[in-house]
Amino acid sequence: MKILHNNATVDHNVNSDGEGPYRVEGFRETVSIESLNGLRSLAEQLINATHTPRYVQKIRGACKSKSELAEVQLSPASYEAMVVSATLAILAAKDHCFAVTRPPGHHASREKAEGFCFFNNVAVATNYLLQQGKRVCIIDIDGHHGNGTQSLFRDEERVLFSSIHQAGTYPYSGLATDVGSESSLKRVINIPVPTGSGDDVFLKALVFIVERVRSFDPDYIAVSAGFDGYFQDKIVKLNYSKRGYYEAGKLIASLSKPSFAVLEGGYHEEVKSCVEALVAGMSGDNFDTKEKPSRSTEACTIGVENTLSLVASALG
């Protein structure tokens, strides 16, 4: 699995120590802007279909006027980074790659920017696949619930959305009993895990999702790959290791479906090596790390077992 990156992502929100350029430090540019330009028209069409033309114009205007939105100081370079990221996500879906997208996207809903997110990159790429007549499962492993992504596909029967995230944190959604409603009923799987959960809890939750993905039988797997569950993260208080991300990649690969991933959160200096761990697992490659798998407390383990029981009951 190739890692796709364009340097336009570095020029967005340059003075932030939160969602700042340090997050993509170390990634070399593997896709030139000239290569992306061939997909730009398609990307802009899909951005307007995923959101609304009115919303897209609002975001463009906010960037042009250097406004503050979704906790971010925007600039004209921000808009370029957004469009480039959406384009990289489409390319990742086409070629089964990992897209280094920045700003992230999974909190962005149809007409709302929040949580550092403006255009929902994984949703844009998923809509590209839906246009090809494909069924898609989205697996969101970010430490925060992908509320925007869930909302965007509530009326789409060809999408199964799943999320593993820290309980009781922003955006305070994604309860275990939330399995969708009306047309999306039982096409949503939310697994909130306790603060401090380690690799064992993370992987137990992912096994639960993988078993249900097999029943859904999608054509593609889309991964919202946030790495704020890593134990060094500044915002989320989970305890995952690179070994955990590697094993997660192997579990996703065990579905034997065409897969791609886009970068979401991760607010620490090890984002690149976490990406490499997940990619190695998804690709079936070896990954060397000195980090040992992290173990959860007994309270966390009991907590996630109770949560999984609730989810299973809600799904029926």
Measured CA to CA, the distance from residue 101 to residue 123 in angstroms comes to 13
Helix axes of 121-131 and 33-50: crossing angle, nearest 10 degrees: 80
Of 12, 51, 107, 268, the active-site residue reads 107
Instruction: Please choose, from the candidates 303, 299, 304, 286, the residue with its C-alpha nearest in 3D space to the C-alpha of residue 242.
Output: 286
> What is the DSSP secondary structure assignment for residue 72, as one 8-state letter?
E
51 is catalytic: no
What does the longest C-alpha to C-alpha distance in the chain come to? Answer: 52
> What is the DSSP secondary structure assignment for residue 8, as one 8-state letter?
G
Strands 220-225 and 136-140: parallel
Instruction: Please choose, from the candidates 184, 192, 185, 224, the residue with its C-alpha nearest in 3D space to the C-alpha of residue 208.
Output: 192
Structure tokens at 51: 């959101």
Structure tokens at 16: 């932030």
Helix (H, G, I), strand (E, B) or coil at 267: coil
Measured CA to CA, the distance from residue 61 to residue 193 in angstroms comes to 38
Instruction: Please choose, from the candidates 165, 40, 16, 20, the residue with its C-alpha nearest in 3D space to the C-alpha of residue 102.
Output: 20
Instruction: Please choose, from the candidates 226, 190, 228, 181, the residue with its C-alpha nearest in 3D space to the C-alpha of residue 208.
Output: 190
Q: Which of 233-263 are b and which e, b meaning 16 or more Cβ less than 10 Å from the residue's Cβ?
A: bebbbbbbbbbbbbbbbbbbbebebebbbbb
> For residues 248 and 281, is the Cβ–Cβ distance under 8 A?
yes
The residues that are catalytic are 107
